[in-house]
Amino acid sequence: PEVVNQIAAGEVIERPASVAKELLENSLDALATRIEVDVAAGGTELIRIADDGEGVPEEDLPLALTQHATSKLRTPADLFTVATMGFRGEALASIASVSRFKFRSRPEGQELAAEIAAEGGSITPVTPRGGPLGTTVEVRDLFFNVPARRKFLKTNATEFGHLAEQFTRVALANPRLHATLRHNGKVVYDLPPAVDLRDRLATFFGSKIAERLIPVSSESDIARLWGFAGHPGDSKGSRKGNYLFLNGRWITDRSLQHALSEAYRGLVMIGRHPISFLFLETAPDAADVNVHPTKCEVRFRDSSSLYRQLLGTLRTEFLK
Ligand code: ADP
Ligand code: MG
């Protein structure tokens, strides 16, 4: 199973940022309201994520590290109507197979926290520990046993940049989440719970930029679209960043990216459209998120209608 897990890890766990993504999603799935991320050396030495979510009962800890063990899929049909972030049940097993790994958890009603550890996939017995309600996952020395993978990592600064981007996506998609990111002991982001997205955007980009963002919203048979788009007049010195979320999950989609460019066409210089933060909410079966293990690419049932909705909504707002 170690080899199987390492192969699975190869699919999903490419670099420290992939670890952070999986752990953050697990914390969100556990309904955390607060997440603290501590990283050392770009995440190559340490990634620790502590949440105040619902936790895992002591007796279920070994299961959480078992491949294809997930508490989130009940029937095969669920695969097509995935509402939670994680559903493949392989992230933890994969991460544990390529790192020195600790998972400590204490659900409500359990007197002590319990911890399970693994080193390169070999799992040690569960031990009781002190600890607050919630879960803390610690991943040290990523790829210490897979030199071929370790070799492909970039500088710590670059790896940290990717990891911080994952953190940013989660923080933007969940404004009410209290989220902290520290790198080598220094606070990079300490985001208090925001009342709404604009409030959160203000902490990221400054209130000046946030105030000028144009609210966007529309509703069709397929999707509710909402969010903010940068003012066409702000395309010049604006920070890059076009964020698109589907049902709370960051996605990348060529067609919708194209609709965005089209919306700004003629209003801004070619290739220079401002920041945007767009959220699509659809029925779970309007899109297949199972196209790729990282779930960033999706396949929409009716992608041309979505294209028209996005383009039409933005155009209407820009021409107001
Ligand atoms: P998946 O998220 O696809 O179910 P994972 O390997 O990411 O698979 O996690 C395995 C299981 O461990 C989850 O189904 C969940 O029950 C538990 N788990 C992982 N992280 C957390 C967390 N932060 N809080 C509570 N439970 C967790
Ligand atoms: Mg998961």
Alpha-helical runs (H) found in 33-155: 61-64, 91-97, 147-150
Given a cut of 60, whether residue 21 has pLDDT beyond it is: yes
pTM: 0.91
Domains 2-191 and 206-318 share a fold: no
Each domain of the chain, given as residue ranges in start order, spans: 2-191, 206-318
- The pLDDT of residue 87 is above 50: no
**From 18, 23, 27, 29, mutation site for ligand 1 pocket: most ligand atoms within 8 A of C-beta:** 29
Nearest ligand for residue 71 CA: 1
Q: Taking residues 209-237, report their average pLDDT.
A: 90
Q: Cβ atoms within 10 A of the Cβ of 74, count?
A: 8
Residue 233 has what pLDDT? 83
| Distance of CA 243 from the midpoint of ligand 1 (Å) | 26
E strands along 41-162, which residues? 46-51, 100-106, 113-119, 122-123, 127-129, 134-140
Topology of the domain covering 206-318: Ribosomal Protein S5; domain 2 (3.30.230)
- Would you state the structure tokens that stand for residue 240, as one six-digit string? 């890059």
84 CB within 6 A, ligand 1: no
What digits encode the pLDDT tens for the residues 169-219? Answer: 999 999 999 999 999 999 999 999 999 999 999 998 899 989 999 999 999
Rounded CA separation 178/196 (Å): 12
Give alpha helix (H) positions in the chain: 2-12, 16-29, 61-64, 91-97, 147-150, 156-173, 197-205, 207-212, 254-264, 303-318
Specify the fold of 2-191. Heat Shock Protein 90 (3.30.565)
Question: How far, in Å, from the CA of 290 to the mean position of ligand 2?
Answer: 14
Best CA proximity match to 295, nearest among 154, 169, 146:
169
Q: What is the mean pLDDT of the chain?
A: 89
Interval 288-315 mean pLDDT? 89
Cβ atoms of 163 and 39 closer than 8 Å: yes
